Amino acid sequence: MQHRIVSIVTGWGSGLGTGHVQRMASLASFLNRSKGISAFLVAGRKPDFLPFELHDCFLPSIKPGTGCIIRDMRDSSEEEMRELKKIGSVVTIDDRGPGRRMADAAIDLLPNPENRDHKKESFIYGYNFIDSLRKLNEEHIEKNLDALLYCGYKPAAETVDFIHSLIPRNKICAVLHGMETSIISGGMAISLSQSYAETILSARVLISHFGIALYEGYACGCRLVCVNPTGYHSQLADIAGNDIDAVNLGLLSEVDRGKAQEIISNLIDNPTADRIDPRAVCEKIEAGLERFYEDIKPYLDG
C-alpha cells in the first residue's frame, strides 16, 4: 500500500528561532517511524543544529502527492492559505494570522492570547531533546546543577552575561548553546561532557525566554524562570505560567536584578525533586505525539 504523504511547512531563524523546526522535526520522525506516513519538512535551508540523518527529510518545496500540509511558522496570510489548500488539506499550528480561519484545522499547542485555549496535552517537544533523552540509559538523574541558562540560538554575549549575573555567585550554573553545555566558573566557560537531555534533567532551575526550551525544562522537573526579549514572549509567559509553574521576570531590558536574584536563589533552594526518571519523561513525550496524531488524523488523507 502506498504511504500517505505529509508535507510540513515550517522555518527557523529570522525571528522564528529554532523551536518551530525542532518540534516539526520530532513530528516528522514520529510519523515516519510509527504511523506508516511519509513526512517531509519544507523549511528553507537545512538546519545545522539538527543531525545529518534528518537531512533527507528536508525538501525545497512541497512533495508531489502530498495529501495533507501541516504549517508551523506563526502568522499565515489568506493568500498563502489559499495556495496551500489547492494542494491538500491544511492543519495550521499556533497561527494568529488571517489565514488561520481558512485552514481545515487550527491547533494551538502554545497559549493563544486571543482565546487562551490550547492543547497542552498534545504538546510536541524538540527533536534534539527527544533524541538525546532516548539515548540515556540511567534510571535516575540527580539534580546536582543549580541553574541552567538557555538564551536562544546564537545569543548576544551581553544577553548571556546579564542573565548569568542573576544567578547567585555561590551556585553552580551552566549555559546551553546548541547541543553543547558549558559550566560557568570564575568567569570562564568550561565544556560539560554530558548530553543535552541529561543537562536539563540535572538542573534545578532553568532560565530562558518563553519557548520550547521552557517546556522541555518543565518535562524534566525544573523550576522555571522567564526573561523575555519581547512583549509578545512575555505575554505568552504570563498566560502559560499556571500551566507550567513558570515565574515571569518580564522583559530583559526591565529586569530588577536584585529581585530576580532573590527569586532564583529561592527556587534553587526549593527544587521540585532531588532526582528524576528519564523513562517517565519519555513516556510523557510519546503520549503527546500520539495525542497530536489523533488530532490531525482526520485530515491526513487530504
Strands (E), 46-172: 68-72, 89-93, 105-107, 141-142, 145-150
Q: What is the pLDDT of residue 33?
A: 92
**Across the chain, what does the average pLDDT equal?**
90
CB 228 within 8 A of CB 207: no
Q: Which of 1-5, 93-97, 121-125, 140-144 has the lowest mean pLDDT?
A: 1-5
What tens digit of pLDDT does each residue of 190-199 get?
Answer: 566 788 899 9
> How many whole angstroms from its chain centre is CA 275?
22
CA distance 266 to 260: 10
Total-model pTM = 0.90
CB 214 within 8 A of CB 238: no
CA distance 147 to 200: 9
pLDDT at 239 over 60: yes
Strands (E), the chain: 4-10, 37-42, 68-72, 89-93, 105-107, 141-142, 145-150, 173-177, 180-185, 188-191, 203-208, 223-228, 246-251, 275-276
Q: What is the pLDDT of residue 138?
A: 80
Does residue 138 sit in helix, strand or coil? coil
Q: What is the pLDDT of residue 168?
A: 87
Q: What is the pLDDT of residue 1?
A: 38
pLDDT at 277 over 70: yes
What tens digit of pLDDT does each residue of 7-61 get?
Answer: 999 999 877 888 999 999 999 999 999 998 999 999 988 898 899 889 899 999 9
